[in-house]
Chains A and B, each alone.
Chain A
Amino acid sequence: MTPRETPPETTAVTLRACAKTFPDGTRALRPIDLEVTGGETVVFLGPSGCGKTTLLRLIAGLERPDPGGRVLFNGEDVTARPIEKRNVGMVFQSYALFPNMTVRDNIAYGLKVRRVARAEIDARVTEMMDMMHIGDLAARRVDQLSGGQRQRVALARAIAVRPRVLLLDEPLTALDALLRERLRVEIDGLLRRLGITAIYVTHDQAEAMALGDRIVVMSHGAIAQIGPPREIYHRPVNAFVADFIGTINRVPCAGSDGDPELVFRPEDADIVAPHEADFSGTVTAAFFLGDRTRLILAGPGETPVVLDTRERTAFDHGQSVAVRVRPDVRMDLAAMAEAGTAP
């Protein structure tokens, strides 16, 4: 990892040997080291129970790491500081909007607690509501808002205090697919505009790829891989990462270079004439998706092969298909792990 320069007025977050064991003995995190550059958006991605939320809560100050672990903001040790003293903004999965306050009071709350002058509070809250396009909801009660509106209020509330770091814990999980996509675009725009250091937790790989400058893929309380979305997608260090981000096929096949298996993404193979093929399979299912057709093939291996093709022809069940994997995009999991992209 090349250390980047921290832009002025942003906060770099550093984790040193942060492990977390809960009182009941569950080991949520193995010792983790991580550098988040100021102004960067980092996404923690992983299946449920992988420790990504615990890691976020360590940075927030809602949990303390096991002895020996340290959390640094711009080099300053904040490990012992509780969340209320860390000046972070946090967006919760359940939004956690205060039901006893209006939208305006929710957004103003952090400023009120900080004893900011009333006029300034009003100005800042109005600015936030305009930025999030919720100006006309100011006097509403929380229970009168839709899911997407709640999400916007939660974001406005978190950034109103001008936090050093913005922490988002699965902020879109509770929304339906269409809204999720729209808010994803909005959050992306917001983060770029604010230039704030942001850490975003999700189990949705599309969200991670869209938002993250870098993605931290986690598994069983440890980091499996860190890197920009492209690198994670095209050069996963192991089968777990490859499987979790997108679909991969592993076909046992005596390839030209003597590899025991071919590893490739569904879109990285073509249907070719039999004599050019790496292997062939029988169509067991074909799904026409508009821009492409997804084929499920009974191939040479035990697991079915998934293939995306842009061919316009229809495919019949039982039809034999010859497949060639584009040589330049073949994955070699073993070599990648050795090359040391893994932490």
Chain B
Amino acid sequence: MRKPVTFTLQLAFTLLVCAFLLVPVILSMLAGVTANFFQGLGSGLTLRWIGEVWGLYADTIFLSLLIAGSCLIVTLVIGVPAAYVLARQGGRLARIIEETIVLPIAVPGLAIALALIVTYGGIREFRISWAFILVGHVLYTLPFMVRSVLAVLSSIRFRELEEGAASLGASFWQRLWTVVLPNARPGILAGSLMVVTLSVGEFNLTWMLHTPMTKTLPVGLADSYASMRLEVASAYTLVFFIMIMPLLAAMQMLGRERRVRQPQNTSTRP
């Protein structure tokens, strides 16, 4: 019943779109290990550029990891409990608060960075430390953690689970620790992956908030794009890809798992 011609045309189009997304990535990966990109692959493969990147920018990689890790801890500590509170309260107030918390996604990073600089730029110790960047990252990633946990909680009738636990004598904190958090785990996991991925790649805020002493990976990337030869910039980008690929893959796997599980939960009809 499927018309083969339209199928082939659509497949070709989809492959074309895929090529558009993929070819530049492959290009940049190759450029990072080619001796001379202008001469092409014939000039030979080399790890020289990667080595150079390591020498020049290793500290940006470590700072990015440090900030992403800290950002994850902060969003977990303040975001997960808040998501639980919002899920429990429900109602209009909770909706408004949720709407406010997600504002940092909607407002461009530039504006948030400007606001932070205008307000706290004067506190020198703070301004020149990496904590200044961390604050920006926390604001930007928090909505994803809260949303992700909230989505899972509102899909599992956790109130009934909690009431069940309460009927068995569990106290508030016991219920939170033994019933709510374990059941929210898929959301916490998805949120965590999102937070780390976004933090490692954040540029818009970070570019305004960084100082020469606090350069993150994307800031270093922008720096290298502007001032380094193409091969070094590519090698640096390659390092970045290698860092975020596992995170992206994990996120996709998590998403697929959830999609597979859903139909089994809902379909009980013959």
Contact = CB atoms under 8 A, between A and B. Distances in A.
A82 interface: yes
A173 B269 contact: yes
A157 interface: no
A244 to B, nearest CB: 13
A47 B270 contact: yes
B69 to A, nearest CB: 44
A203 B270 contact: yes
Contact of B1 (A49, A64, A93): A64
A84 B270 CA distance: 26
Task: Determine the main DSSP class of A at the interface with B.
Answer: loop
Closest 3 CB pairs of A and B: A48-B270, A203-B270, A82-B1
Interface of B: 1, 269-270
Contacts of A93: 269
A170 interface: yes
A73 B128 CA distance: 82
12 contacts: A47-B270, A48-B269, A48-B270, A49-B270, A53-B270, A64-B1, A82-B1, A93-B269, A170-B269, A170-B270, A173-B269, A203-B270
Interface of A: 47-49, 53, 64, 82, 93, 170, 173, 203
Nearest to A173: B269
Contacts of B1: 64, 82
Contacts of A170: 269-270
A64 B1 CA distance: 9
Contacts of B270: 47-49, 53, 170, 203
Contacts of A82: 1
B253 to A, nearest CB: 22
B36 to A, nearest CB: 50
Given A48-B269, A93-B269, A173-B269, 7 more contacts: A47-B270, A48-B270, A49-B270, A53-B270, A64-B1, A82-B1, A203-B270
Contacts of A53: 270
B229 to A, nearest CB: 52
A203 B1 CA distance: 29
Contacts of A47: 270
Nearest to B268: A48
A322 B240 CA distance: 84
A47 B270 CA distance: 7
A81 to B, nearest CB: 10
A38 B270 CA distance: 28
A264 to B, nearest CB: 29
Contacts of B269: 48, 93, 170, 173
A201 to B, nearest CB: 9
